[in-house]
Structure 1
Amino acid sequence: MTHETERLRELVATELGRARDRTTLLTETVDDGDLSRQHSPLMSPLVWDLAHVGNQEELWLVRDVGGREPVRRDIDELYDAFKHARRDRVQLPLLDPREARRYVATVRDKVLDVLDHAPLEGTRLVERAFAFGMIVQHEQQHDETMLATHQLRTGTPVLSAPPPPAPAGRVTGEVLVPAGAFTMGTSTEPWALDNERPAHQVVLPAFHIDRAPVTNGEYLAFIDAGGYDDPRWWTTAGWDHRQAAGLVAPQHWVRDDAGWLVRRFGRVGPINPDEPVVHVCWFEAAAYAAWAGKRLPTEAEWEKAARWDPATGRSRRYPWGDESPGPEHANLGQSHLRPAETGAYPLGASPLGVHQLIGDVWEWTSSDFHPYPGFAPFPYREYSEVFFGPDYKVLRGGSFGTDRSAVRGTFRNWDYPIRRQIFSGFRLARDA
């Protein structure tokens, strides 16, 4: 065994452990009743997510990579996300919390044994531990989903975290991104998922992009100006949805005699005007952009602003360089249960001076979710291919609830334009 392979095994074991520690925190801080309850029809019961991450781990690592006998073949259909809509999962004969915990622990024991013995080369599925990295990201993605469920639950607050760092200085204004080609996507990132591939050249005209995401204070000006009552700023579909859903402010904003407050994980407090606005849908983001005389960036514009280095002409892994995110770079991994004020991560800025592109809030783009030229589904069509088309809008950059293993400069997220239970915000762009 080479030293490099041994280091890769250690990395995988560490990342699997970090993901499971987070899953445990999110599922042990509530009682079994809360774990089994459906807190919103948009979300699964937490106990479904718990057993689902174990089931995916069993399918891919125990059975496929390890070639081992199934642990619980009888539950495969229960935890197949394509078989049952989220709103219906609470009615299924799910494993109870005790059974679910025992199941995921048994699967993890077998996975660690597979990791000790599996060659991390020879097939695309195991090359550079891809399948293990896929499962790490899958669990962390469900952890972020479970964090969103915690935001929707009612009752006594159960999660806590220190506040994010104070800003080093205010970040305002916009930057000019010059016209020209850049490399979008990746063909080299070992754990990149199929929709991030392959790397390809994209030529863009010059454009301006905001140095920071839109803040609560800026969004409040849109509300105060009657932005929710003026159809001029909304797309036709957006105005129809705004009326049908009764939208008047970002989700979790509540109004009292003194003004607007925000509810976060069971606690209600004042709105910080310097934090990025969060829990807005694409239609709200697009309406604000129209009111402000700008637009949402395209997905390609967002990625060029985040990755392109004008000094070298190459695309970095992250805005700050190629090293993985540290706490000095970005607000990630549930370390803080809120976005940080703009300017809090100067070391995470891109070469052009664009801040907080990674972490804090997922950023809506104007782009529909489509494959890149040369796309090939891997290792299964259902990860990306079945979602391609005009129904979904692309989000970029991750949020305060996204783990560092599940976000990078090329990572693509997508959702319906009406969704706002996710930790979504936006920044603005305009033509040069």
Structure 2
Amino acid sequence: MTDLAADRTDDATLRARVAEALARSRARTTALTDAVDDDDLTRQHSPLMSPLVWDLAHIGNQEELWLLRDVGGREPVRADIDALYDAFRHARRDRPRLPLLPPAEARRYTATVREKVLDVLASVPLHGAPLRTGGFAFGMILQHEQQHAETMLATHQLRPGAPVLAAPPPPPSAGMLGTEVCVPGGPFEMGADAEPWALDNERPAHTVDVPTFFLDAHPVTNGQYAAFVDDGGYDTARWWSPEGWAHRREADLRAPMHWRRDGAGWAYRRFGHDGPVDPAAPVVHVCFHEAAAYAAWAGRRLPTEAEWEKAARHDPATGRSRRYPWGDDPPTRAHANLGQRHLAPAPVGAYPAGASPAGVHQLIGDVWEWTSTTFAGYPGFAAFPYREYSEVFFGPRYRVLRGGSFGTDALACRGTFRNWDLPIRRQIFSGFRCARDPRPGEVR
């Protein structure tokens, strides 16, 4: 095969991959928005979240801006609505009062944009300009749609009323796990250079020397967290930072979001269904302050972002950094709980094939994991293609989360992917695991 023929084959493969991912992402968006009636679509179920109909049209508007107008050079479909769906112009709490597209019109708009985008995909070269090379702009928009799908899933969790979503339960645990794993110190490559759809905050790859540390073999479970609650963890200021304790008191936090007492135990309302809290599943819907307080109570701490990524990516046998804990192959159903296949975290030990070489489990999927690190750019960071994706959030206000949740699609989850949020947020599918430093003489 000539180089030109090989290039054409690779180009066709990339276009087919993008087309499949566009269809799959849109099917998820459609399922999340068609599951409720128009009243639910336009209602705001929490001031922390947009009405679902805003997310729907915003997805189409971002696709129009970047793929249709920028990459494709096509005429606008609806330039008149750009300001309505600019996330930086309107806070979520204010969006219900905007003159948003009604549900039927929002659906027609996103369908029209998608039809034109598929024509762009079939015709534009996927090389040359940075946005086109490797299909980057398509990958960016695909990840954007899947991120909003997870946001819409979180809105469904906050929505009152009868259940409208269904999924099979996650697999059971495959067996008992150890409590913690020692990750030897030394340098590793953090971040991404070769990942074609890695976003700007994941770049560039750089060497980080991480001292030896111990990391929980699995996320903190509901059973473990319930022990903290029952031991008076929410009533004891010494486990909390001053900022965390002030927030605990102001917000009257007493347990993870959606937990309620059920006799001597705990119950949980998940997507309209009530049931007992599974003690073997990772705790979810806790904020950074709650995670840090638990860690202090347990005599441990939250891992740094670099520690988390080293545990998730470093292969001690080869010294290289993998894409995922299990290797470079994309996640399968055997590796991780991703993509809304299930509507809950799986019990710890449910995905032995997804463990890292050191024996750390469920680093990918189930729950986003809080780290102790504030959000900042890596050395040599360059904003691309716009500052508002990452750079405007850099600083001490935001904490980094890693690993993805049961609601995260594999497109928007890899060993280098970085999420961030305010430390008080817990409507997201957030959990954590703990780390600790070696004790004197424990490691040679």
Q: TM-score over 0.5 for the alignment?
A: yes
Counterpart residue number, 2:121: 115
Question: What SS is found at the alignment partner of 2:110?
Answer: helix
Q: Which amino acid aligns with 1:128?
A: G
User: Where do 5+ consecutive residues of structure 1 fail to align?
Assistant: none
Per-residue CA shift, 1:195-237, capped at 9, x if unaligned? 0000000001100001000000000000110000000000000
Deviation at 1:176, TM superposition (A): 0.7
Tell whether 2:412 aligns with 1:372: no
Question: What SS is found at the alignment partner of 2:420?
Answer: strand
Counterpart residue number, 2:3: none
Counterpart residue number, 2:88: 82
Counterpart residue number, 1:12: 18
Tell whether 2:260 aligns with 1:254: yes
Deviation at 1:420, TM superposition (A): 0.1
User: Where do 5+ consecutive residues of structure 2 fail to align?
Assistant: 1-6, 439-444
For 1:104-253, list aligned pairs within 5 A. Answer: 104-253=110-259
TM-score, L = length of structure 1: 0.99
Tell whether 2:283 aligns with 1:280: no
Tell whether 2:65 aligns with 1:59: yes
For 1:270-419, list aligned pairs within 5 A. Answer: 270-419=276-425
Q: Which amino acid aligns with 1:169?
A: G
The 1:225/1:258 distance shift into structure 2, 3 A limit, reads: closer
Deviation at 1:256, TM superposition (A): 3.1
Q: After the TM superposition, which segments of 4 or more aligned residues of structure 1 sit over 6 Å from their partners?
A: none
Tell whether 2:306 aligns with 1:266: no
Deviation at 1:171, TM superposition (A): 1.6
Deviation at 1:167, TM superposition (A): 1.1
Deviation at 1:166, TM superposition (A): 1.0
Deviation at 1:72, TM superposition (A): 0.1
Counterpart residue number, 1:47: 53
Q: Which amino acid aligns with 2:375?
A: F
Q: How many residues align?
A: 432
- Equivalents in 2 of 1:326, 1:256: separation in Å? 36
- Equivalents in 2 of 1:326, 1:86: separation in Å? 34
- Equivalents in 1 of 2:400, 2:106: separation in Å? 33
Counterpart residue number, 2:98: 92
Question: What SS is found at the alignment partner of 1:2?
Answer: helix
- Equivalents in 1 of 2:160, 2:264: separation in Å? 23
Q: 1:73 aligns with which of 69, 79, 83?
A: 79
Counterpart residue number, 2:40: 34
Q: Which amino acid aligns with 1:25?
A: A
Per-residue CA shift, 1:19-66, capped at 9, x if unaligned? 000000000000000000000000000000000000000000000000
Deviation at 1:258, TM superposition (A): 4.5
TM-score, L = length of structure 2: 0.97
Deviation at 1:259, TM superposition (A): 2.7
Question: What SS is found at the alignment partner of 2:371?
Answer: strand
Identity %: 72
**CA-atom RMSD in angstroms:** 0.6
Question: What SS is found at the alignment partner of 2:18?
Answer: helix
- Equivalents in 1 of 2:371, 2:194: separation in Å? 25
Deviation at 1:260, TM superposition (A): 1.2
Question: What SS is found at the alignment partner of 1:175?
Answer: strand
Q: Which amino acid aligns with 1:240?
A: A
Counterpart residue number, 2:441: none
Counterpart residue number, 2:442: none
Question: What SS is found at the alignment partner of 1:324?
Answer: coil
